[in-house]
Structure 1
């Protein structure tokens, strides 16, 4: 990964459009040999499979991963690899490598690919776009799997309903795409989207991984409504109200193929429909490929103001979280706010070598110098208020008064700070405007790549301080800098620790992996479980959710084996292995 100056120039030069998240397939010949074959598949069988894939999708929409130089390039966020984890954890680059990539153009092609996978018993790994950076990107858990790139060709905003404040999307629609659609259709002053830190990810993909954003609509799975899914046998289903045909809809014709039939008028309005609610089993799982997703959009609240609160001391975290909890429960903090460590913020503004002249652990003097340079505290809280002027004014006063009970706390609005500042960036994020600015923290060190460690805990000052102290000690013990943020939900907080290391330093890579493995075990001993993780850690984390002799895993495996008896769809996802795999041989611990 390049230094910060190169990233800045790339961001300035890069045109964010449809070409930004597709990868032009080279000319293909059927005699190419993949770097890694699928398990239990010889070359002849693989080529027979690929002949049928080419016939289904066209040679321009599939390619064999046969060249390290061409296909195992690290790339960067907006030109990401579709074939392996570009933030790879193993120096030999032979793990989590795809045998081929196929890019279907429509739902029938997705169904055909799934049926071919069953016919040849070849595992497939569906992705939306592949920008799940820090969690494995586009890489498959089972080396040699065929990556199904849903986002290259299936990237349409299918519908935006202004009255219902909802939309229906295909997998390749990014946050930037959806925002641009609203702008192009002059809807951005009526409807807002919710965005994560970076705008280039798939709206559908982030929701299915249960990711978060930062407006009042920040719980993305909570804000979804209705799915269309290709099951592991190739059958198409719609969940919720989508399961009910609606003869009143324009274009209704029962003779049309199922994927072309208009959805029920309430499909994006009421999540549950009738009977068991199934949407959750298609998140973080290998039980289906979601081809359409409904999402709720946020009506323009009539006003908005972002703010930040800075805290002088590391130990202020405990008191600050205690202030946050009642405000969040009472919805006086209406959005998903964040409490960010000083280096998380500083790394977006400068590299380590620009700020610190020595190698090794950061000192108290270093932190004070960085804080003074960028007008930051040791912890920096970012939130927003929404609504007309009178409502915002009252809410801001309540919030400000509560935080200023902590000695040394400083409350600022955007106009109080000079640019560049993190509050100026969050001012956009907190009102649903996608940005790429926070990509720059990867350049805190040269060739920066990262792992995310993401445990869950109650909103408690004591628990926050304990989690922070444990995480910082283990990260620093590995010779790395602590970079973290607490993202506060209604009753819990995600502690997102960014374990940043030099991709060209095998020692740092190994230390980063050892550190996160140690963190998983220590946090499990404290009752803190991760909500999301990297491919290499899925088995370990799944093993910590082991109540009643792993009864949840047995249930997940039973569902997997019933729905996907050939084990072709994302085997090993979230640590769930189909019975046709020898689990003991595949588990990574």
Structure 2
């Protein structure tokens, strides 16, 4: 018999001490407040009756599907395979679905799984992969599914089977204080690793993104970034285990060399490479296998000081970037700093846009100035958040150099945490930049009712003139389509990640269509100027992948060659990151720059 998912019994704010994916109890008050704000600004019903019902994998009947699912249940347990035929609930950050994209920019039922599978071991994952090779059903592995803004837990092919690795595979396999390293399973969150380090009293930091509930493994595989000197999460991974599409298990790095008496190699989390070709990279942002454990280097705790600097005019942007570049290259700036536009400063307070502006269009510059003038940092256009590390005398001398450099911009002002109230975001940034994961940064989704977001994330050189081109493209596109531009830049010495968030009402089809058109246009226009995205929503991955077209699509042809060799049956996440296996390729699944109606993405439905 086929099992079905029963009613959700998850508490309103899941706590880490009770649920692997929850937030630490020390953040319970913060979580409750965030949840309450979200609920008070939600007009959508919690869940509605499905219009389409159960969505099956391509080219299968319900009878064949049920037989195949029953077979899978016999391999890993009936209670660990759940059919997705119940109403869809978007939930929220700490209690999110594994069945669809909770931040849907299409109809809620467009990208929906047929079933969710919960392996409890590497052997379970291998069994699932071998089963998929017999059925041909597409598998979509997730760690926690909190890839919000980029597609969440949704399968690219409707009816695909989501393999939720995190629910039952969330062990910290090794935490080595002397080596400053760890080995974790997919369900280990930044919150969980941080609490384990604190419990053991180890003088170590983790590098965390803006929110602490994500998976270390999943974020690194998607090449996410943080804000300490170890902010390149992929760059600081060290060896992993991956289940290949044929079900075999592979270890990368020094883990490929057996240790004494059958133990793990003692240098597995010490040195990233093995002998011969370095293959780790082909499993990053790909669909060539399922990574089931990964090692990471951690940062020794160090004295630190966070600060921010404000700049009065939008036009200061180009000069800001020019000043940052030599400071970052010379390692005077201590971390991967963040630049935010002041509109995001307004939103992260948890206030609603309607508090400052009436109507559906973007805020005017006058409205922004009036609202910003009432914030602790005062009227400004940009805010630079940085952190310095080392002995106090070193930090003080660096801060003087940084302050002097930015004083070239008239009206710039420096603030330390002691200069602002305890609830100001500078204190949050201070915690993040000292390896302490937080939850507060979620509050900017309260900007509009039913707040969802989708990210546009190009890479540009850290050069003022180039940064200005990207900034102009993005700000003009946002305003053209009626959105406030939530601009956040992670700036290094040679490149910067420009992450622009469109915040929209998930219950407004017109707002979602405008978001799709805005993203499509920005992808195309940035590519014309030589700027490409480092990461994107799964429905834009085809377009982004094909902008990397040098040599008559040499990169894509190489990726397709690897895909067909490693995964001839095309079962591992077809279409993820724009890579389609032969059985799907050229049959209408790819989405291009003119595909705006994303509610019907299955070729036979067009």
Give 3-state SS (helix, strand or coil) of 2:539's partner: helix
Give 3-state SS (helix, strand or coil) of 2:386's partner: strand
Contact 1:226 1:239 (8 Å CA) reproduced: yes
- Which residue, 125, 128, 133 being the options, matches 2:143? 128
User: Who is 1:408 aligned against?
Assistant: 411
Distance 2:492 2:139 in 1: 34
Contact 1:34 1:64 (8 Å CA) reproduced: no
What's the TM-score once normalised by structure 2's chain length?
0.89
Contact 2:309 2:412 (8 Å CA) reproduced: yes
Distance 2:137 2:407 in 1: 59
1:352-389 alpha-carbon deviations (Å, 9 max, x no partner):
12233454231222111122111242100001000111
1:494 paired to 2:497: yes
Distance 1:557 1:266 in 2: 33
- Which residue, 501, 508, 512 being the options, matches 1:505? 508
Moved over 6 A (4+): none
Contact 1:482 1:497 (8 Å CA) reproduced: yes
User: Who is 1:281 aligned against?
Assistant: 282
What's the TM-score once normalised by structure 1's chain length?
0.91
Deviation at 1:185, TM superposition (A): 1.3
User: Who is 1:117 aligned against?
Assistant: 132
Distance 1:485 1:228 in 2: 33
Contact 2:325 2:492 (8 Å CA) reproduced: no
Give 3-state SS (helix, strand or coil) of 1:19's partner: coil
1:84 paired to 2:104: no
User: Who is 1:269 aligned against?
Assistant: 270
Distance 2:359 2:583 in 1: 53
User: Who is 2:85 aligned against?
Assistant: 66
1:362 paired to 2:381: no
Deviation at 1:246, TM superposition (A): 0.9
User: Who is 2:242 aligned against?
Assistant: 229
Distance 2:167 2:498 in 1: 32
User: Who is 1:199 aligned against?
Assistant: 212
Distance 1:221 1:582 in 2: 29
Aligned length in residues: 551
User: Who is 1:299 aligned against?
Assistant: 300
Give 3-state SS (helix, strand or coil) of 1:339's partner: strand
Deviation at 1:419, TM superposition (A): 2.9
Q: Which moved more, 1:396-405 or 1:134-143?
A: 396-405
Deviation at 1:88, TM superposition (A): 1.0
Deviation at 1:469, TM superposition (A): 1.6
1:335 paired to 2:354: no
1:200-256 alpha-carbon deviations (Å, 9 max, x no partner):
000000000000000001000000000111000000010010000011xxxx44xxx
Distance 1:239 1:490 in 2: 30
Contact 1:456 1:495 (8 Å CA) reproduced: yes
1:298-345 alpha-carbon deviations (Å, 9 max, x no partner):
0112x1000000000000111111110001111111211111011112
Distance 1:270 1:361 in 2: 49
Distance 2:357 2:582 in 1: 52
Contact 1:37 1:46 (8 Å CA) reproduced: yes
Deviation at 1:472, TM superposition (A): 1.1
Deviation at 1:490, TM superposition (A): 3.6
Give 3-state SS (helix, strand or coil) of 1:384's partner: strand
Contact 1:34 1:99 (8 Å CA) reproduced: no
What RMSD in Å do the two structures reach over aligned CA positions? 1.6
1:261-308 alpha-carbon deviations (Å, 9 max, x no partner):
x3210000111110000111111111111111000000112x100000
- Which residue, 522, 531, 538 being the options, matches 2:525? 522
Give 3-state SS (helix, strand or coil) of 2:193's partner: helix
Contact 1:136 1:535 (8 Å CA) reproduced: yes
Give 3-state SS (helix, strand or coil) of 2:446's partner: helix
User: Who is 2:313 aligned against?
Assistant: 313
